[in-house]
A and B are shown apart, each in its own frame.
Chain A
Amino acid sequence: MRVGLRVNGTFHEVDVEPRALLVHVLRGLGYRSVRVGCDTATCGACTVLIDGRPAKSCNLLAVQVDGAEIVTAEHADGLLERLRKSFNAHHAAQCGYCTSGMLMAAYALLSRRERPSEDEVREHMAGVLCRCTGYQNIVRAVVEA
């Protein structure tokens, strides 16, 4: 089936199997920052923005999001650059495997709320798992981005 996706501003028209997961289609298009960490839609490493809202791309078929605007962690804009600087300054990434998902979840939060509290960050981002950092530095990085 033909599916049209605008990813980080670039339009792609792709032919996909109806059962193809969005995460696999995005990775196939070269957006490798979208990572697979589980098979139960639990870990959130595949989180992307779909029309401005965070979503786990392993839990969607590509055909469900035909025509959508998608943002991945390869994207570059002012907010993402601020987040990147803050993640670096606060040592918020270790192995990095969850980091794309963390950046996307944080991007969604900061897009609608300029100065979230620590508790808001924890609640909003609880859909992404990290096994390395213990989370505190990620919370700080988002609060102080």
Chain B
Amino acid sequence: MRLVGRPIPRVEDARILRGRATYLDDIEPPGTLHAGFVRSPYPHARVLRVDMSDALSDPRVIAGYTSLPGPPMAPGGKVRFQGEAVAMLVAVDRYALADALERVVVDYEPLPHVVDPAKALEEGAPLLHEENGSNVAHTARYGSPDAAGAAAPRVLEGELRVQRVVPAAMEPRGVVAAYDGHTLTVWSSTQVPYDVRKEVAGALGLPLSRVRAVQPDVGGAFGSKLIVYPEEVWVAAAAYLLGRPVKWVATRSEDFRATTHGRDMGLAFRVGFDGSGRVRSLWGRITCDVGAYHWGEGLSDIAARMLTGPYDIREAGVEVVDVYTNKTPLGAYRGAGRPEATFFVERIMDMVADELGLDPVEVRRANLVRGLPYTNPFGMTYDTGDYTGTLEAALSRLGYYELLRWADEEWARGRLVGVGLSIYVEVTTFGFETAIVRAEPDGSFTVVTGTTPHGQGVATGIAQIVADELEVPLESVRVVWGDTALVQDGIGTMGSRSITAGGSAALLAARRLREGLKAAAEQLLGSPVQYSGGRFWGPNGEAQIGDVVRAIYRGRASGPLEAYEVYNARSTYPFGVHVAVVEVDPETGHVRPVLYRSYDDAGEIVNPLLAEGQIHGGVLQGVGQALYEEAVYDGEGNLITANLALYGVPTFAEAPRYEVRFAERPHRSEHPTGTKGVGEIGAIAATPAVVRAVEHAVRRVRPGARATSTPLTPEKVWMMLRP
């Protein structure tokens, strides 16, 4: 019986549920020293002097650095965001370290700063990078720039904004490094151990063979751990120079400033449409506040290139401007450009419907892409699907119109509830991925995946795929990852690519190993053989797969014991329809998410239990984006939502009830797994659905009300409810 497609509980859980998982802070080689950073309280300042002498007079303090191999600290003698590192201390334990960090004296010359991207673009704005000549970090144009909509019967203009948020994985970032005189081992709470290894080796001038990077259990990342941060290189360099193990683990407040933030994009748009709701043209300008350094390249470009969403809008053009401001650098956060694009286009569809007094579903139906594959105006080719058919199925499975009727009835009883629908198409998967499938001497199998899972359950999914391909029990397949001593190259877990790219690599490796073992079995049995269920057989007899493997290990047959596969995966496009239900308190503007239903065509679903888990978690992050979360900077450039006490990560109390469905007849991708990816769907679809649900409720009281920016805080909703 095939394992793929079944809701098998995770094989990863045993360690986690016994408290035996090993996260970064659980790694502490004997004699480990503790590193910490002196960080700027100013958003923009010249660093005049760093005096560590008082701190270094404490015998518990081993070393202090204002520069180390790797990226410069305070490049050009300046700090450009609150929380940027100025100096690093190394002490014998974390209490001594905390004492010593207080004793470092830094003379700063505060400089004029800018935290508003519009102001950062004005003439005379303070420049973050003088050599750049302006605060423009990047510009691009996609589609037809003259998509002005002049020819359309109706034109609507407006501005939309998706706020800056903090990924806030439950485990803060951290690094441990140890040098034994031969090998430098770097453990990091990262999504990209291969990149960590390359950057550390490059900074220290070491060959890759002498640097090993290990990704231990990682307590969540959501894209915030997919670049190599300066601290990772500096801590490794200190361990190498000192010849002693060094550990740095960010405090939560430190992590809020030193780990990349997400989203933070605005769209100015002009949409042209006709009386039936058919959109004729869409012009947009995306302004993305990238913060102090351009670490998150490509985010606004993805948002731009997905701006027409699942709609066939032939005349479309987008300009992109990435702007430097004195904030924490922006980076990938679950969805990375597609949540923004989807929020923008779904808001526009709702606005067009409201302008015309039409059903928002009717407007979407009139514009949906018909006939796949389809290349959008920005060159993105949506691969497979049936968008109109899936929409109709979704409307019925999700009970959308029944929910609308129920909301009417509730309103008649005096309860203000709203129902919002969103449709999305998103792009997942890119690049190569690596897999090694190895036969162990007892006939069990080890799979090394180049992906770098950190909670998704990828090891269970890949084990299902490989066990099916080898026709062996799930228990015979063990999946490992995250150590360059096991696999030297890969990309990692990001962009909803792990099962599609990594699973396909593993599937093809397993297939090749199976073919090689079949040839070995034919030598052993002296005849052509067939294979099924772990057994080779032919006219001369039979052999279990373990017997063949043992024969190769002992030189009695020749054949492969492992297969190394590199799979290049082209992008693929999940599509779906989501519905959110909220209750609004008209007295306070408080919004309570009540119910969330989803219907997704994400290709084959390897494990529905785990796929549903991905939707749940992604949806709650999208709900947080819609209602609760925001990285707020005050006029002085202080991050004032600087820790979990001040920043609104949703709790048990805010979570809606989820009802997740996947398409009964999904459209496969071209990949061997047939999958399209599910990791980011929830975060992409939920925000526009929740925002429309709030607007739907509010419009009963204030018919013209319009939500154009997130989060919809009680204050904002209260204002919308009033004339």
- Taking Cβ atoms with an 8 Å cutoff, the residues of A that contact B are 17, 19-20, 24, 27, 31-33, 35-43, 45, 72-74, 84, 87-89, 91, 93-100, 103, 121-123, 125-126, 129-139
Contact = CB atoms under 8 A, between A and B. Distances in A.
Contacts of A138: 652
29 contacts: A17-B95, A20-B95, A31-B19, A32-B22, A36-B25, A37-B219, A39-B643, A40-B643, A40-B645, A84-B13, A91-B10, A91-B612, A93-B17, A94-B455, A94-B456, A95-B170, A96-B12, A97-B219, A99-B16, A122-B652, A126-B651, A129-B644, A131-B649, A132-B170, A132-B617, A134-B613, A135-B620, A135-B651, A135-B655
Contacts of B456: 94
A136 B620 CA distance: 10
Given A20-B95, A40-B644, A42-B645, A94 B617 contact: yes
Contacts of B17: 84, 87-88, 93, 99, 103
A87 B278 CA distance: 48
B658 interface: yes
B522 interface: no
Contact of B19 (A72, A94, A126, A132): A72
Given A97-B219, A99-B16, A39 B613 contact: no
Nearest to B172: A37
Q: Name the residue in B14, B252, B456 with the highest tally of chain A Cβ atoms < 10 Å from its Cβ.
A: B252
B556 to A, nearest CB: 41
Interface in B171-189: 171-172
Contacts of A19: 95
A126 B668 CA distance: 40
B190 to A, nearest CB: 13
B252 A134 contact: no
A132 B251 contact: no
Contact of A32 (B19, B220, B253, B682): B19
Contacts of A130: 170
A43 B682 CA distance: 23
B167 to A, nearest CB: 8
B259 to A, nearest CB: 13
Interface in B11-45: 12-14, 16-23, 25-26
Interface residues of B, number: 57
Nearest to A89: B9
B13 A87 contact: yes
Contacts of B219: 35, 37, 95-98
B616 A98 contact: no
B609 interface: yes
Given A91-B613, A97-B220, A131-B649, A38 B18 contact: no
A53 B2 CA distance: 45
A132 B219 CA distance: 9
B168 A88 contact: no
For the complex of A and B, the 7 pairs showing the least CB-CB separation, nearest first, are A33-B19, A97-B219, A95-B455, A134-B616, A96-B16, A73-B19, A40-B645
Contact of B168 (A45, A131, A139): A131
A31 B25 CA distance: 12
B619 interface: yes
Interface string B604-617: 00000110110011
A91 B9 contact: yes
A19 B98 CA distance: 12
B613 A133 contact: yes
B222 interface: yes
B218 A95 contact: yes
A132 B658 CA distance: 14
B455 A132 contact: yes
B456 to A, nearest CB: 7
Given A41-B645, A96-B12, 17 more contacts: A37-B171, A37-B644, A38-B644, A39-B643, A40-B646, A42-B644, A87-B17, A91-B613, A95-B218, A95-B220, A129-B644, A131-B621, A133-B613, A133-B617, A134-B655, A134-B682, A136-B658
Contacts of A45: 170
B18 A73 contact: yes
Q: Name the residue in B169, B454, B455 with the highest tally of chain A Cβ atoms < 10 Å from its Cβ.
A: B455
B412 interface: no
A137 B616 contact: yes
Contacts of B94: 24
Contact of B9 (A88, A95, A97, A135): A88
Contacts of B1: none
Contact of A131 (B12, B617, B646, B652): B617
A88 B619 contact: no
B232 interface: no
Nearest to B611: A91
Contacts of B249: 36
Contact of A136 (B21, B23, B253, B655): B655
Given A88-B9, A97-B171, A33 B95 contact: no
Nearest to A36: B25
Interface in B594-651: 609-610, 612-613, 616-621, 643-646, 649, 651
A33 B616 contact: no
Contacts of B346: none
Given A39-B252, A39-B643, A100 B169 contact: no
A24 B96 CA distance: 14
A43 B170 contact: yes
Given A74-B19, A88-B17, A136-B616, A96 B643 contact: no
Contact of A139 (B13, B18, B252, B652): B652
Nearest to A96: B16
B245 interface: no
A91 B220 CA distance: 16
Contacts of A43: 170, 252, 644
A134 B619 contact: yes
B453 to A, nearest CB: 9
B20 A74 contact: yes
A139 B19 CA distance: 19
Interface string B215-252: 00111101000000000000000000000000001011
Interface in B656-692: 657-658, 682
B450 interface: no
Contacts of A31: 19
Contact of A96 (B217, B609, B616, B652): B217
B653 interface: yes
A53 B256 CA distance: 31
A111 to B, nearest CB: 18
A8 to B, nearest CB: 10
Interface in B450-501: 454-457
Nearest to A17: B95
Q: Name the residue in A36, A37, A136 with the highest tally of chain B Cβ atoms < 10 Å from its Cβ.
A: A136
A125 B652 contact: yes
B591 to A, nearest CB: 17
Contacts of A91: 9-10, 457, 609-610, 612-613
Contacts of B619: 134
Q: Name the residue in A24, A95, A122 with the highest tally of chain B Cβ atoms < 10 Å from its Cβ.
A: A95
Contacts of A39: 251-253, 643
